[in-house]
Amino acid sequence: MNASRTARERVRAELIREITDIARRQLATEGAAGLSLRAVAREMGMVSSAIYRYFPSRDDLLTALIIDGYNAIGEAVERADGSCARDDFTGRWHAVCRAVREWALAHPHEYALLYGSPVPGYRAPDDTIAPAVRDTAVFGRIVADAHRAGKLVPPPICPPPPAILAEDAEVVRSLIPDAPDDVITRAIVAWTGLFGMVSFELFGQFNNTITHRAELFEHNMTCLARLVGLPE
Amino acid sequence: MNASRTARERVRAELIREITDIARRQLATEGAAGLSLRAVAREMGMVSSAIYRYFPSRDDLLTALIIDGYNAIGEAVERADGSCARDDFTGRWHAVCRAVREWALAHPHEYALLYGSPVPGYRAPDDTIAPAVRDTAVFGRIVADAHRAGKLVPPPICPPPPAILAEDAEVVRSLIPDAPDDVITRAIVAWTGLFGMVSFELFGQFNNTITHRAELFEHNMTCLARLVGLPE
DNA sequence: CTTCGTCAAGAGCGCTGCTCTCTAATCGCT
DNA sequence: AGCGATTAGAGAGCAGCGCTCTTGACGAAG
């Protein structure tokens, strides 16, 4: 009786998978706005209304793609970090930066879905929170490891962060354990700087201006690493 | 004869203005995806096809809004910079940062249109290039002024930029005259960092994490200012 | 064998961008 | 002043969209 139930369930899971796969391909070629349930159904040889058995609305399909996307970039970042010597903190930072940029360049529309303009009227459900910080968690671990190893020496150019930021730092500290508030705010500068660079490149702000983007990226990530206090 | 021609022309200009105004209001409430030519026409008491006499396609209307948006944020930044003492370079930088953030918070959908995910299938025409760098030009002037005044002392934490970036720096130097390549790359770090912060806040990446956003923003902009070498 | 839950299919609603045609107003010129 | 040319709006229509509702078939469970 369980086997029979799972028979149906398995077909259902298979179809859900096929829908998200096709949707992801459409997302990659057309962008989020061009994602059409009818087109997915057409490609599956289904009638459009049948899709609604599996995803009650277009937004729910989008949510599935967002979660997949966060997991994909998170995994890419984890793999990049994992391929470095544990005590090569600066190398790990650069590997992570490169992974983010390369994943973004390889999946521009998915990146835009995750880190670009929010889809209007779309409210991300709570399921997206956990996958959304996978990449950030990796970064936090690098900083925390470096700090624990006594290798984190922030240059004395930033003032101490205002006391009011301490409570926010408390939340972030779950990602960067034991780090002092100053390190945490610097880490935020670096992390937002990384995505600022990638977004500028991907969203066209470098058009007609910057041509050697990989080199500029590498160099700027080095500057940010130094700002955080990662060793040379 | 000229007056008569301009009679028609004036009505036409008036209508174009009214269309963009209504469209901008719709953009502000619904977002770019929700901008509908039919809705604009409806609000004007026109039939939808009549709009096409003024904007040949939805994308052209979007282009007009993009140009307006770049000019709006550029003007806000120029005004902020103008209200500071010319030799208070750090103050000017902070004023500019604040202007960008506040304009973005006040016009989230317009900001998303300018600095968020590009609209799929939309290719920005060349008309947008000049307005797009109005804000950047202000920033470049601040750095250039500080450098000329001998007040720019970049902390010795970044390696010299690789030689290949020199040609890109050449292009950027039109915005930051006389600045050495090292200053230019640092300025790019700061500028992308500013927009990285604003985008993270606006696009929801700080949800469930950062609550004191204004304070964090101020502090991080200070760090970036120091990285560029602006005085305390 | 019947009952019940699941599923695909189809029709349909209201919306979109965009095109085409027709009519009326307006303009420039003789 | 009147005439040909230009410009404007109105309306119908096409193909696409998300989404809903109903209908009929099928397979598992009692």
Tens-place pLDDT, residues B164-179: 999 999 999 999 999 9
Distance linking the first and last C-alpha atoms of chain A: 63
In the chain, the amino acid numbered A107 is H
pLDDT interval class at B3 (50, 70, 90): very low
Angle between helices B58-82 and B108-115 (to 10 degrees): 100
What is the model's pTM? 0.95
A120 touches B: beta carbon within 8 Å: yes
**What pLDDT, on the 0 to 100 scale, is given for residue A147?**
98
Position B196 scores a pLDDT of 98
- Min mean pLDDT across B3-12, B32-41, B73-82 is at B3-12
Whole-angstrom distance, CA of residue B92 vs CA of residue B114: 23
Confidence at residue A125, expressed as pLDDT on a 0 to 100 scale = 81
| Contact residues, chain B, for A172 at CB < 8 Å | 209-210
Q: Is B33 exposed, middle or buried (0-12, 13-18, 19+ CB in 10 A)?
A: middle
Half-sphere exposure of B19 (CA within 13 A, CB side): 28
Contact criterion met (CB < 8 Å) for B172 and A209: yes
A15/chain B closest Cα distance in angstroms? 28
pLDDT at B102 over 70: yes
Q: Round to whole Å and give the CA distance between A106 and A98.
A: 12
Phi-psi sector, B204: left (phi>0), alpha (psi -120 to 50), beta: left
The pLDDT of residue A1 is above 60: no
The predicted structure's pLDDT at residue B123: 75
Q: Does B210 lie at the interface with A, CB-CB under 8 angstroms?
A: yes
The tens digit of pLDDT for each residue in B56-80 reads 999 999 999 999 999 999 999 999 9
Residue of A nearest to B133 (CA): A205
